[in-house]
Amino acid sequence: MPDMIRDSITTFYTSLEAANRVLQQSTQKIEDRKTKILSLLDTELSLPQPPGESGAYHEACRQAMEQIRSHIIQWKTSMRQMVERSEFVNRHEKSILVIVFADVKSGKSSLGNFVSGYDYRGTAYKDLSQPLSYTIEDFSRASTEDRGSKVRPLPFPENEIEATSTIQYYTLHQGLTWVDTPGLHSLTREHEALANEYIQFADLVLFLTSSSSPLKEDERGELQKLLAQNKPVMVVITKSDESVTTVEGGRLVKKLTPKPPEKRKAQDDYVMNEIRALGNGVIENRRVVSVSTKLARQAVTAGDEALFHQSNLDTFFLQMGEILSNQAVELKMRRPISELEHCIDQLIGDAPPAEGMRTICQEQEGLHRLLADLKKLFDQRDVSIQQICGSLELVIPTELSLRFRALREQKGLGDPEAVQKAVAECLYQVCTGQCISYFEDKFQMEQVFLDRRIAPKAVDLSGAEYRQTTMQQSYTAIRERPPKGFVEHIQKALDQNRKFTETVSRSETIVTGDNFHSYVQAVWEQIRPSLPNYVGEAVDELYKQYICPLRERYEQMDRQFDALTQKLKQLKFTEG
């Protein structure tokens, strides 16, 4: 014959086993994505070599790269902590984590013992009982105690002033981890902090409230906090029974009976109305069920199906089973998916970052500011060229004059090739020097170098001609000469002091002046139009050597951040 008690319990346990199978597959997807995030942080971000040159902009680039490096390390550390943290939760990732949240003396330990199957021992349902132990976790950030774990055989302690002063949990059929927390408003602040700390890990919260005074004002406040966190909540009204006096065998005896259906309905309706009044989200998923663990124990012991039905534990198991079987993935994955996606959003910048954490968006904003500063420099290129050319207007004519004087002394000023060479050297040395000096001042740099590739092209000097004025000068002179002919040689032999002379007439051209100053000015006028082009080439080359690499570094990092952001977003879960 069908046994409602056995069917109710076995159906519940079957749901747990099915949930475990589904969760194992889904949990692996979460872990794979966590690992992928770490892999992306390792492979998608490659910091360019920081610049080695001096200069304010180069120092800013070095600082930016170093800050990004430290933030990448911070991101990796944070992700590793997300992967490795919460040993408590990770041990139970493949089961639904149900955390019982209730005030003291609400019957939560009794309910936990019954769900574990401990009360089936010594009954007709002993085969459904597993030899379970429960683990005690004594740890909270609010406490100075070190974490400690102890394993004890069930049952949980019951009917103590503060029976649950620590986290206590067991895992049933690998599909359900039942966590018994310290009571609401426990006797110590540490116990309350411990409960609030672990509540964040809940996949499902069983919020228990005693039938003697359901959903008191302080309980409503705590429930509102849970609902505000969008926690899946199932509200259970415990101790839904009453003691009545009856006559049995001619004697007055007190007998535990379920609360009448109209009383239970009134309490259920009251609690649902109070939940609605809290005004938090959708209430259709908020479940309310009244139960009596004491009646359920009596029913199991006596094999009384009617009494078990009156305890309402069959309804409790049914609702729990539905949640575990139909919503197992949704419930279990909601927290890790939410945590994973929140971590991605924090990393990207779509959610407020954790304290002290920089987001990819913030890093890109910093890069964009640096790029905007560099853009201003490039936008000022023409102004810079004008300023340098203005300085050269004063320097080059003087420098040309000095070089042409030296060339004139070497009698090479009339040689077009020599003049072109002198002009080229003047432009290279003077213009390059002015450009470098301007660049060093503007960017606070040292040892700026502009190689010989930037050399002036030949300048057409046909409009400038060097001319000299001259005059012819003639004169007659008497000079000594050697003897000529036979007679003079005889005379010289007879008289060694004898001298012979001759009269010589000569004419020569003498330079009386030149157009040196007007020639220098004419050459200057010829090369002046080409000056902006040459200075522009020099400035562009300096930008190319020293400033463009900074822009390329920033743009490279910006592109990497864009690519990383897109790949991180692809790791988020979407519908279907």
CA nearest neighbour of 294 among 322, 254, 267, 321: 254
Using 50 as the pLDDT threshold, list the residues of the chain that sit under it.
139-147, 161-164, 187, 281-285, 575-576
Burial readout 405-425 (b: 16 or more C-beta within 10 A, e: otherwise): eebbeeeebeeeeebeebbbe
pLDDT at 108: 86
pLDDT at 284: 42
CA nearest neighbour of 123 among 299, 269, 351: 299
DSSP states along 135-198: EEE---TTS-SPP-EEEEESPPP-S-TTS-SSEEEEEETTTEEEEEPPPBT-SSHHHHHHHHHH
pLDDT at 452: 59
Using omega within 30 degrees of 0 as the cis cutoff, is the peptide bond preceding 155 cis? yes
CA distances from 141 to 82, 126, 145, 190 (A): 17, 40, 9, 9
How far is Cα 316 from Cα 298, in angstroms, rounded to an integer? 17
How far is Cα 513 from Cα 182, in angstroms, rounded to an integer? 112
Q: Any idea which residue has 């008289």 for tokens? A: 495
Q: pLDDT tens, 340-391?
A: 888 899 999 998 887 888 999 999 999 999 999 999 989 999 999 999 999 9
How far is Cα 388 from Cα 434, in angstroms, rounded to an integer? 7
pLDDT at 185: 56
- Exposed (0-12), middle (13-18) or buried (19+): which is 249, by Cβ within 10 Å? exposed
How far is Cα 536 from Cα 457, in angstroms, rounded to an integer? 13
pLDDT at 148: 52
pLDDT at 91: 61
Q: Any idea which residue has 């040309």 for tokens? A: 400
How far is Cα 425 from Cα 421, in angstroms, rounded to an integer? 6
Q: pLDDT tens, 123-162?
A: 999 999 888 887 776 644 444 444 456 788 888 877 654 4
Is-contact 573 65, C-beta < 8 A? no
How far is Cα 128 from Cα 122, in angstroms, rounded to an integer? 11
Q: What is this structure's pTM?
A: 0.61
How far is Cα 479 from Cα 492, in angstroms, rounded to an integer? 17
